[in-house]
Structure formats: structure tokens, C-alpha cells
């Protein structure tokens, strides 16, 4: 019996990196586009995200969209 440990390890590594990477990117996008919470004790309301944060968030979402497109490509191509 021959178990292909290398292939299994590769699957595990790629899965871990891709999952954590996509979830991380998408969370950056969510954090970038959602309102900042009001500081403790401050009377101000929650503030809208700045332009820079917005642009970064959009870039993160775009990368996630690219990943989804690649996933569809993998499904269609196999």
C-alpha cells in the first residue's frame, strides 16, 4: 500500500494558505468598508471609513473576486 503523503501534504498546505488568505483579504475588505466604532467615552457617532481604507478594501474585494473566477475556471476546466 502506497499512500501519497506528499500529495496530501500539498493539498493541506495549499488549502490552508488559500482559505486563510481569502478569508483574511475579505475581512480586510469588510473592515475597510464598515464604520469605525466610536472611541470609548467619545460622544461622536461612528465614523465612515476614509478614502484610503476604502481603496484598500476595494482592492481586497477585487482580489477575492479574482479568486472566485479562478475557482470557476478550475471547475469548468476539469
The residue ranges that bind other proteins (CB under 8 A) are 1, 3-4, 7-8, 10-12, 14-24, 26-31, 33-35, 37, 46, 64, 68, 71-72, 74-76, 78
CB of 49 to other proteins, least distance (A): 10
Residue 37 phi, psi dihedral angles, 5° rounding: -70, 150
Choice between 23 and 51, CB closer to other proteins = 23
Closest approach of other proteins to the CB of residue 51, in Å: 18
Nearer to other proteins, 23 or 55 (CB): 23
φ, ψ dihedrals at 8, nearest 5°: -65, -45
- Cell 503523503, located at residue: 5
Buried b (16+ CB within 10 A) or exposed e, 6-39: eeeeeeeeeeeeeeeebeebbebbeebbeeeeee
Q: Residue 2 CB, nearest distance to other proteins (Å)?
A: 8
Amino acid at each position: 500500500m502506497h499512500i501519497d503523503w506528499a500529495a496530501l501534504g500539498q493539498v493541506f498546505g495549499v488549502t490552508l494558505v488559500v482559505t486563510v488568505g481569502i478569508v483574511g483579504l475579505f475581512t480586510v475588505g469588510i473592515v475597510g468598508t464598515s464604520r469605525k466604532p466610536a472611541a470609548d467615552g467619545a460622544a461622536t457617532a461612528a465614523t465612515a471609513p476614509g478614502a484610503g481604507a476604502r481603496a484598500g478594501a476595494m482592492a481586497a474585494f477585487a482580489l477575492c473576486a479574482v479568486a472566485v473566477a479562478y475557482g470557476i475556471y478550475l471547475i469548468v476546466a476539469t
